[in-house]
Structure 1
C-alpha cells in the first residue's frame, strides 16, 4: 500500500510556527470539548470522594503503572502519582529470557473508595486478580494478589459488608471476594446475565437507590453501551441501550493484523504486515464504550467512557447523564444515547482554571523524570541515569528495537504533535544503536548506528522494511518526529545544528494494533544489536509542541463567515424566502451575502448566527421531525446554538432548543432541520460544516 503525504511538512521544518500549549478539554468559557485528554487514557474508572474526583486507567506493560488523577470539576485533571514502580511478577515484565508482556499487565482497573481506604482492582493476565490499597491516594499502596481469573471486573462494596465483583466476556459473572482479599468465597461464583443479552465486557458495577446497575460494552452489531438493572444482586436483570453510534465524528483508523490480538511471536524486521484501511462507515469498535457514571455533590450524574481515536489510542470522554424511568442514559433529554462533543462543564460550584495534567517537555535537569514518562516494561535501574543535565541510557543486547530494554516512552498526543531531542552519540560502541522512535507495530525510528569505527545516521521503517543511511561527521545530532494522529501518519527528520531540519524517508504509517494494545508512543532508546553490553547515549532537551492545542480562535466570534456543508460540498444559503438551504456551485447566491453569516457570542459557548442579507437569525421554529430551521428577524432563545469544535475549520451547530444538530439530507437537498442526533464517522451525513472567515464582502 502506498502512503501519501497528507500533512503540511512546513510544520515540521519551522518550529517557531507551533504552539507550546498543551491540549486541555476546558474551553475557558464554561464549556469543555471531548476528549478530556487527546492522548491515551483507556478503560477509565472514576469515583468521587468528598469534593474531589479520582480517576485511573489501563497502563498495561508500561512502567510505572496505574496513574492516579484528581479533579474538582471532571474536566481539568491533575496527575497525582503512579501506584507502583514495577509489578515484579516475572521476567516477561522485564523483556528477559525472550519473554515480553506487550498488551498485557494492568487491564481495565476498578477504582473504589470504602471505609477510609482507596482500592484498585485489576486482573493481570496469567497472574490473576491484584488489589492495591491505600489510605491516601498519594500512597503508599499495599499490593496483594488475590488470584483467579476475573476479566474486566468491577467491584461493589455492598451495604451488608460483603464485597462482590462482576466480570466476564459475553456473559456476566458474579463472585464474592474474601474480606481480607485472600481469595474468593468458595461456592460464590455464578452467572447472573447470560450471553445474548448484549452485555459483553468492561463492566462498571454500582448500587444506586437500592437497585443494582451494571454498565457493559457491547461490540455487536455496531458497538454500544448497555446497562443492566435489578432489585437483587443475583438478578433477574433487565437491560437497556444507554449509548450508541457516538463516534464524535471520528473514523476508525488503519488497523494491523485485525482480529489477531496476540501474536505468538514478536514480529521481526522484514515480516509482512496486513494493513486494513479505514472504513468510512465502520462503527464496530469506535463508538463510546466501556464506561460508567459518577454523581456530583449536587446530585447530578455524569458519564465517562472511552473512544478510539485512531493512532492516539483510546481516549476518555465525558457525557451528561439523563435519567428516564430509572435508567441512566448518556446524552441530553432531547437526544438520548448521543454525547455532545462540546457541552457545559459539570456544575460543581467552583471555577477551575483550565490546565493540562502533564508537562510533556523535559530538559532532564531535574533529579527525576517528568511523570509523563513511562518505561517500556520494567527498567534495569543500573543502566540509566540523569547525569549532568542529560538522560543517559546504557546499551544492553537486543535483537531489535521492540526488545530494547530501558526504552523511555510517552504517549503520542493529538491531533498533531512534534517532538525534538538532542542526541550525543559520542560514547556509543560497536553494535550500539540509539535514537528517537515511534513505538508501535510496525515501528519506525531515526538514530545513530555505531559499526566498527564509523557512525551512521539511520532511518528505518518496519512496515516497508526500508532503511536509509547517511554518513556522520559529528556525534551530536538533533532528531525530530512529527505525528498527525488524526490521519495515522508521521515523519522523522534530523538536524546538525538544531535549526535546519531535513526529513528522511517517506511518510510513516501509524496503525492501531492489538499487540501492544496502545496508541503510537514517542520513545528514546539505546541498545546493542550484536549481543553485548556497549556504551551509552546521552539525550537532552526533549521538547514537545502541539500545533492545534490552542483552540481559542476556533469559534469565530464577531466575524463574518461562509459555511459549506462537508457532506454535500454546497454552501449554506440564507434563502430570502426565510429557509436555510443549500446553494450549489455556480448558482446565483453562491458568492453573495446570501451565503454569509455573522457569529454573535451569547456566552457559555453559545452563538447566534445572523444572515448578512438581512433575512434574520438562524432559528429553530419547530420540534421533533418538524424541527425546521428558518431565518427570523427577531432573535430569541430558539436562535441559540452550542458551537461544536470539530477542529481544522469544521464545526457542528447543536440547537439549544431541540438538543440536536442542524443538518440536511444531501441526497434530496431539503432545507436544513434541527433534528439530527449526531454525525457519522466520516462526517459526510450533512451535519458537519466547514467555516471560513470572510474579510471582504
Structure 2
C-alpha cells in the first residue's frame, strides 16, 4: 500500500496543475483553499514567509515559505507548546490570535497575543529552525500585535484590543523583549471603522501607515491609516472591499513588495466551515501616497478582489507547490501539516512502535463519554480543498471497554467513523457529537459488527459543506454509508480532518492503541 500511495502522489503531482496556478503565467484565487486565518507576509531577499493564526492547535503558528507568493509549503511552527498547564487540555478559541512577522538586523520576529495570557514574541535567525519564545506582557484582552523599527533606531509595537476597535502604539526596547510605556491610543472611530483589528505598521515616504481590517470577519473591508507622526493624528481610507465580487470580507493580511518593485496583499476570505482561506491581490501606491489593493476600475482609490490575475513578477518561474497533506508516517517526526488540539504529550503516539505507521494510544478522555471536543490527542490537519477525499488503513488493538479509533471531520459539530470495542466485540460505528451548552453525548448514526481488527476508512468532503464516509475490509471494495452529514467550523477555525484514538472511561483498565498505516488526501 505504501508503494501504491507513493505512485499515486507522483501521478497527481505530474498530471494535476494546482487551481491556484495556471499554465499561462496566471494564478486563480484562492491561492490556498485552507484555513490560514489572519495571514501576514514578509520578503527577505528572494524568499517570502507567511504566518497565520493557530489558536489552540499545537504546534502553533505555522511558518510557510514561498518563492513567488502563489506556491507555498509549511517549513516550521513558531512553538511546540505554550508554557501554561491549562493548555494541556483543549481551550477552543484561545491561544494564538493574528500573529505578525518581521525581519530586522538578521533576525526574524513573530509577535502574537492570546486573549488571556497577553503578548508573546518569538525570534530566530532561521525560520526553518527552532524559535526562542518570550512572554513579553502578561495582560488580557490585547490582540493582533505588530512591531516596527524606525529609521532613527526607535522600536514600537502596535496592537488592538478585544471589542475596542482601537489602535494602540507602545515604545519598545530595541531588542523587542520589553514594552517601555503604557501605550497611546492613536485611532478609534467606531462609526467609520468598527471592529478595527489586525494592525500592520510600516513606513514609506515619510508617512507611518497602519493597515487594519474593519467591519467584521465575513463582511469587512481593508482600511489604511496614515500620519506623518507615529502617534498621529491618523487619517483613514478604505483601500479594498468586496465590490460586486463574490469574495466576501476581503481584509486582514500582509502588504509586501517583490524584488521587481510590485506590491501584493495576502488576505483571508471567510468561507464558514472551510475557514478563512487565503487570497492574493495586486496592490500599488498612488501618486498621493495612498495604497490601493485589487482592481480599482472607477478610480476612487478603493479596489475590489481579483479572481484571476497575472502572477507576481519575482524574476523567475517556480514549480507548483502546495502545503503538505498526505502522510505515509515513514519519518521520525510528525509531518508539519499535523496539529494536536492541546499541548502535545509524548504518551499520545509513537512513530517507532510500528515503523512506517503512527501508533495512537487510547488516551483517557471521559468527558461526555469520550466526546472528542474535549480530547487533546486528536491528530488533525486543515481541510485544503472544497472537494477532497482522505483515506487511512487502521489496525485497532483495544484493551478496554468502549475504546474507539478512526477518522473524523471535526468542528464544533463533528462526525467520527471508528472501530469501537463494545462488550468485547468490535463494532464499526459512525458517531456524531460536538459542543452544545447543555452537553452532547456521542450518538451512533450507523453501526455494524465486524470480526477483524483491520479496516480501511475513507472520508469525503463536498463543496456544499457536507461529508460522507465509506469503509472497506480488504482495501479494494468500499461500502458507502448512505448519509450526507454537515460540516461545521470550530471556534474561530475551519473544519479539520484527521485521526483519533480515545478511551472514554473515567477509570480505564488498560490503554489500547491504533496503528494508522498512512493518511492519503486527494483533491477532486
User: TM over 0.5: same fold?
Assistant: yes
Q: Is the 8 A contact 2:121 2:177 kept in 1?
A: no
Which deviations, in whole Å up to 9, do the C-alpha atoms of 1:635-688 show, x marking residues without a partner?
xxxxxxxxxxxxxxxxxxxxxxxxxxxxxxxxxxxxxxxxxxxxxxxxxxxxxx
Match status 1:343 vs 2:309: yes
Task: Classify 1:35/1:248 alpha carbon distance in 2 versus 1 (closer, same or farther; 3 Å).
Answer: farther
Task: Classify 1:415/1:403 alpha carbon distance in 2 versus 1 (closer, same or farther; 3 Å).
Answer: same
Q: How many angstroms does 1:87 deviate by?
A: 1.8
Q: Is the 8 A contact 1:468 1:505 kept in 2?
A: no
Q: Which residue of 2 aligns with 1:94?
A: 88
Q: Is the 8 A contact 1:170 1:196 kept in 2?
A: no
Distance 2:458 2:404 in 1: 16
Q: Which residue of 2 aligns with 1:418?
A: 389
Q: Which residue of 1 aligns with 2:5?
A: none
Q: Is the 8 A contact 1:23 1:37 kept in 2?
A: no
Task: Classify 1:194/1:155 alpha carbon distance in 2 versus 1 (closer, same or farther; 3 Å).
Answer: farther
Of 19, 30, 33, the residue aligned with 2:28 is 33
Q: Extract unaligned runs of 5+ from structure 1.
A: 1-14, 251-285, 548-697
Distance 2:330 2:68 in 1: 33
Of 468, 473, 494, the residue aligned with 1:491 is 468
Q: How many angstroms does 1:22 deviate by?
A: 7.9
Match status 1:133 vs 2:123: yes
Q: How many angstroms does 1:207 deviate by?
A: 0.7
**Which range moved further: 227-236 or 296-305?**
296-305
Which deviations, in whole Å up to 9, do the C-alpha atoms of 1:191-221 show, x marking residues without a partner?
4344334161111111111101111111269
Q: After the TM superposition, which residues 29-428 of structure 1 pair with which residues of structure 2 at under 5 Å, given as runs?
A: 29-91=24-86, 93-95=87-89, 100-147=90-137, 148-149=139-140, 150-168=142-160, 169-198=164-193, 200-219=196-215, 222-245=219-242, 249=246, 286-324=248-286, 325-334=288-297, 336-358=302-324, 360-386=325-351, 387-398=354-365, 399=367, 400-428=371-399
Which deviations, in whole Å up to 9, do the C-alpha atoms of 1:155-174 show, x marking residues without a partner?
21112222212222412122
Distance 1:74 1:63 in 2: 25
Of 491, 506, 511, the residue aligned with 2:488 is 511
Match status 1:482 vs 2:460: yes
Distance 1:412 1:332 in 2: 29
Q: Which residue of 1 aligns with 2:449?
A: 471
Q: Is the 8 A contact 2:394 2:517 kept in 1?
A: yes
Match status 1:455 vs 2:426: yes
Q: Which residue of 1 aligns with 2:503?
A: 528
Distance 2:391 2:130 in 1: 35
Q: How many angstroms does 1:310 deviate by?
A: 3.1
Q: Is the 8 A contact 1:226 1:240 kept in 2?
A: yes
Report the 3-state secondary structure (helix = DSSP H, G, I; strand = E; otherwise coil) of the residue aligned with 1:60: coil
Report the 3-state secondary structure (helix = DSSP H, G, I; strand = E; otherwise coil) of the residue aligned with 1:402: helix
Distance 1:247 1:90 in 2: 47
Task: Classify 1:56/1:298 alpha carbon distance in 2 versus 1 (closer, same or farther; 3 Å).
Answer: same
Q: Is the 8 A contact 1:108 1:122 kept in 2?
A: yes
Aligned length: 488
Q: Is the 8 A contact 1:213 1:228 kept in 2?
A: yes
Q: Quick check: which has more Rg, 1 or 2?
A: 1
Which deviations, in whole Å up to 9, do the C-alpha atoms of 1:107-146 show, x marking residues without a partner?
1001011111110000022111000011111223111111
Distance 1:519 1:491 in 2: 17
Q: Is the 8 A contact 1:118 1:134 kept in 2?
A: yes
Distance 1:186 1:508 in 2: 52
Task: Classify 1:174/1:194 alpha carbon distance in 2 versus 1 (closer, same or farther; 3 Å).
Answer: farther
Q: After the TM superposition, which residues 598-677 of structure 1 pair with which residues of structure 2 at under 5 Å, given as runs?
A: none
Distance 1:58 1:127 in 2: 16
Q: How many angstroms does 1:23 deviate by?
A: 4.1
Distance 1:126 1:426 in 2: 40
Report the 3-state secondary structure (helix = DSSP H, G, I; strand = E; otherwise coil) of the residue aligned with 1:413: coil
Report the 3-state secondary structure (helix = DSSP H, G, I; strand = E; otherwise coil) of the residue aligned with 2:259: coil
Distance 1:456 1:244 in 2: 51
Which deviations, in whole Å up to 9, do the C-alpha atoms of 1:597-641 show, x marking residues without a partner?
xxxxxxxxxxxxxxxxxxxxxxxxxxxxxxxxxxxxxxxxxxxxx
Which deviations, in whole Å up to 9, do the C-alpha atoms of 1:437-469 show, x marking residues without a partner?
111111111101112311111111237955322
**Which range moved further: 329-338 or 467-476?**
329-338
Distance 2:494 2:80 in 1: 21
Q: How many angstroms does 1:37 deviate by?
A: 1.0
Q: How many angstroms does 1:291 deviate by?
A: 2.1
Q: How many angstroms does 1:432 deviate by?
A: 0.7
Q: How many angstroms does 1:247 deviate by?
A: 8.3
Task: Classify 1:219/1:312 alpha carbon distance in 2 versus 1 (closer, same or farther; 3 Å).
Answer: same
Report the 3-state secondary structure (helix = DSSP H, G, I; strand = E; otherwise coil) of the residue aligned with 1:311: helix
Q: Which residue of 2 aligns with 1:277?
A: none
Distance 2:17 2:459 in 1: 17
Which deviations, in whole Å up to 9, do the C-alpha atoms of 1:408-436 show, x marking residues without a partner?
11111212010011111134432211111
Task: Classify 1:480/1:187 alpha carbon distance in 2 versus 1 (closer, same or farther; 3 Å).
Answer: closer
Q: Extract unaligned runs of 5+ from structure 2.
A: 1-7, 435-439
Q: How many angstroms does 1:317 deviate by?
A: 0.9
Q: How many angstroms does 1:331 deviate by?
A: 1.6
Report the 3-state secondary structure (helix = DSSP H, G, I; strand = E; otherwise coil) of the residue aligned with 1:32: strand
Q: Is the 8 A contact 2:222 2:241 kept in 1?
A: yes
